[in-house]
A and B are shown apart, each in its own frame.
Chain A
Amino acid sequence: MPNGLSFNRLSERPGGTVTICFEGQPVTAQDGDTVAAALLAAGYAVTRTTPVHGVPRGPFCMMGVCFDCLLEIDGRANRQGCMVRVTEGLQVRRMAGARSASIGEADA
């Protein structure tokens, strides 16, 4: 269910539309959108819950800085939704709670 965030499309990009799948639901995106932009355009504000307190979050910076847009994309966890372009049939899921390991989280 989209949760009522309101962005509207001012014009269409050359290249037409692409359909991706978010939590089993089809989402129509514009070719050239990032996954995070496509979800915001479709009204999905919440794209994950946090590992520490389980609170809902959505994309924040849209430029690869904040990592609040982490999603499971085509089976791979912890991908930045604002840095991945949509492609036809892309399977996208929310990330809930704990992260799985990838190299590169800061250490003490």
Chain B
Amino acid sequence: MPERTDLVVIGAGPAGMAAAACAAQRDLRVLLIDEQPAAGGQIYRGLDYTDRVKLEVLGPDYPRGRELLDGLAQPGIRCLPESTVWQVTREREVFISRNGEADVVVADRIVLATGAMERAMPFPGWTRAGVMNAGAGQILLKGSALIPDDNAVLAGSGPLLYLLAWQYLQAGVKVGAILETTPRSNLIQAMVHLPGALRANAYLRKGIGLLRAIRRSRVPHFRGVTALRALGSAQVESVAFESGGNAHALPCSILLLHQGVVPNVQITRSLGLEHDWAPLPRCWHPRVSAWGETAIEGIYVAGDGGGIGGAEVAAQQGRLAALHAAQHLGAISVQECESQARPVRRHLAYHLAVRSFLDTLYSPAREYLCPSNETIICRCEEVTAGSVREYVRLGCLGPNQTKAFGRPGMGPCQGRLCGLTVSEVIAGARGVSPAEVGYYRVRPPIKPITLGELATLPLPDEQQLEAQDIG
């Protein structure tokens, strides 16, 4: 018989850790699953041990994760690290792969807290070895204390790009250059949202502090960068671009890209849930209630997986989902749920106040949302933007039709990386919004599993099966 539990939380980032702790404090039995070896999620990755990187390089936000981590030391919480969820069903079964074996857990309530991933930033040559996401650079730093050689170039836009540049400077890396692709007009458009952002001015102070430190470091900082290209043979050897009306080229063996993060929607999509197009951060959000509950009763979304809000927002959303789940399982009353949620909602509003400003300021340049014809947009099947435009000319209206023409989105990543770009390119070619074009249909399993793993799944109780046969 499959194991049963009150609450399964998928993802042990700030949202999942806060949800698990809040639910366990209210006597729910919680199973917290994550594919990483330790809890922490993206921001607090590698919190389980301390080294020079943690103490001197990552900055003051990082140690804050300890409090969330400590909250997991409760008898009601069982942590399942290095375990990948490959399917969630509407009947609230959670299928897991762990150490080459498959397993299934049935839960009364589920919180999906699978976080964000970096938005793809396609341009000619971005598939060359040595070109990586900035987040990958940061993961190498947090997980393995690895820093790049002196000529590494950082390109793109957004707070995480500056944070990584700042962390590299703390680590003594001589960054080759920062190539800023943020359109100059963004700042003017963002100003209308400044009053809202000033309500959460800790974020603005932090951002300005990072930018000042970068300026003082005298790292070459090019603004309004267009026409990015990664050149080389097998690996990247140089990066070419235009800035201020001039053409430039810089040698580099490591080129790190970033243009914001977007929700990881693989599980919510595979459940067939509705998603709404958010025109400002240009991504899809699963549709949820004020508690984070989806249209499937008992399945919640918390954290960046529901829309990008950052670590504080993620934790508060995790708590809201846990309170609602606790109330439905009879652990707290409706009144207790409401009164305990009130301070959580206040914090949430505070930390969300800065979003419109940030989303407008770092809205990606059109060139990297909807790239040139020669650019490969589906890395797995090596499909260019030009091919997708050609499929549209031949009559394709949406991403699921283009699959049949040239296989974009049908490789091992299942369209995770190209999904948004393919929707943007089709929408651009048709002259409509991505909302009208839609997104890939995502089918389980959302991570590849082998037949050997499937064979290890516990079967339903034989006696029960027989009883059903007779009945």
Cβ-based interface call for B29 (8 A): no
Q: Is the interface of B mostly helix, strand, loop or mixed?
A: loop
Q: List B66-119 residues whose CB lies under 8 Å from chain A.
A: 82, 84, 86, 117-118
- Chain A residue with Cβ nearest B55: A11
- Chain A residue with Cβ nearest B148: A7
In the complex with contacts A11-B52, A40-B140, A65-B130 CB distance below 8 A: no
B449 A7 Cβ-Cβ under 8 A: no
Q: What is the CA–CA distance of A65 and B444 in the complex, to the nearest angstrom?
A: 15
A62 B135 Cβ-Cβ under 8 A: yes
Q: What is the CA–CA distance of A41 and B381 in the complex, to the nearest angstrom?
A: 28
Q: What is the CA–CA distance of A64 and B82 in the complex, to the nearest angstrom?
A: 12
User: Could you say which of B37, B379, B414, B450 contacts A60, with CB atoms under 8 Å apart?
Assistant: B379
Contacts of A63 in B (CB 8 A): 42, 117, 135-136, 139
In the complex with contacts A6-B148, A33-B144, A62-B133, A106-B414 CB distance below 8 A: yes
A105 B234 Cβ-Cβ under 8 A: no
Chain A contact patch, size range: 35 or more
A78 B412 Cβ-Cβ under 8 A: yes
Proximity bits, B404-426, A CB within 8 Å = 1, else 0: 10000111111111000000000
In the complex with contacts A60-B136, A104-B449, A7-B409 CB distance below 8 A: no
Q: What is the CA–CA distance of A106 and B407 in the complex, to the nearest angstrom?
A: 10
Cβ-based interface call for B207 (8 A): no
A85 B37 Cβ-Cβ under 8 A: yes
Q: What is the CA–CA distance of A48 and B231 in the complex, to the nearest angstrom?
A: 19
B136 A61 Cβ-Cβ under 8 A: yes
Q: What is the CA–CA distance of A38 and B146 in the complex, to the nearest angstrom?
A: 10
- Chain B residue with Cβ nearest A46: B129
Contacts of B37 in A (CB 8 A): 32, 85
B412 A99 Cβ-Cβ under 8 A: yes
Give the distance to chain B from A83, nearest Cβ to Cβ, in Å: 7
Give me the interface of A with B, judged by CB distance under 8 Å: 3-14, 30, 32-34, 37-38, 40-41, 45-47, 50, 52-53, 55-68, 70, 76, 78, 82-83, 85, 99, 102-108
- Taking A45-B235, A106-B440, A108-B403 as known contacts, 12 extra A-B pairs with beta carbons closer than 8 A to each other, sorted by chain A number, are A10-B147, A30-B144, A46-B129, A47-B129, A56-B128, A62-B140, A78-B448, A82-B139, A103-B449, A104-B444, A107-B410, A108-B410
